[in-house]
Amino acid sequence: MMRIKFVPYEKLKNNHAAVLEELKEGMIIVVDAKLSPKEEAELIQETMRAINQRFAGIELGSIDFAHVDGGWKFRSALTEKISGKKRGITLIGPAKLIRKIEQKPEELMLYF
């Protein structure tokens, strides 16, 4: 049975370890923001530390709403400044479950 969990950005931001535990258990995680490049790099590093014979890592994909907004980039930048999080969506799934995530600027496609 496939399980999908919606996680607020604030929870992921402060606790990669907890999210990785859920990914290890086969959960697909959807986050209500685009991670910053630094956060993505940190998540990859944490993932590498967690890899073992049963957990092969993650598939990661994201949409940056700033690219989707077209002429509304200023609004995006302003909202991000106020909220402290990048407008978008991030999808994280266990590599053993998700074969790949195909990314387009405005779409994410999961292949199982």
Partner 1 sequence: MVLRHIRKVKNSFSSLVMSIFRKRKNLKIGLYGPVNSGKTTLANKICMDWLGEELGVASVVPHETREIQIKEKVTMKLDGKSLAFNLVDTPGIATRIDFEDFIKHGISEEDAKQRAKEATRGVIESIKWLNDMDMVLVVMDSTRNPMSQVNITILGNLDARKIPFIIVSNKIDLKKSDTTKIRNSFPGYDVIGVSARNGDMMKELYRMMLNGL
Angle in degrees, CA 92, 19, 2, rounded to 5: 55
Q: Which of 68, 89, 101, 110 binds partner 1 (CB under 8 A)?
A: 101
Q: Nearest 5°: phi and psi at 20?
A: -65, -35
Least distance in Å: CB of 73 to partner 1? 7
Q: Which stretch binds partner 1 (CB under 8 A): 1-9, 25-33, 59-67, 76-84?
A: 59-67
CA dihedral (35, 38, 43, 47) positive or negative: positive
Question: Contact residues for partner 1 (CB under 8 A)?
Answer: 36-38, 40-41, 44-45, 47-49, 51, 53, 56-62, 73, 95-96, 101-105
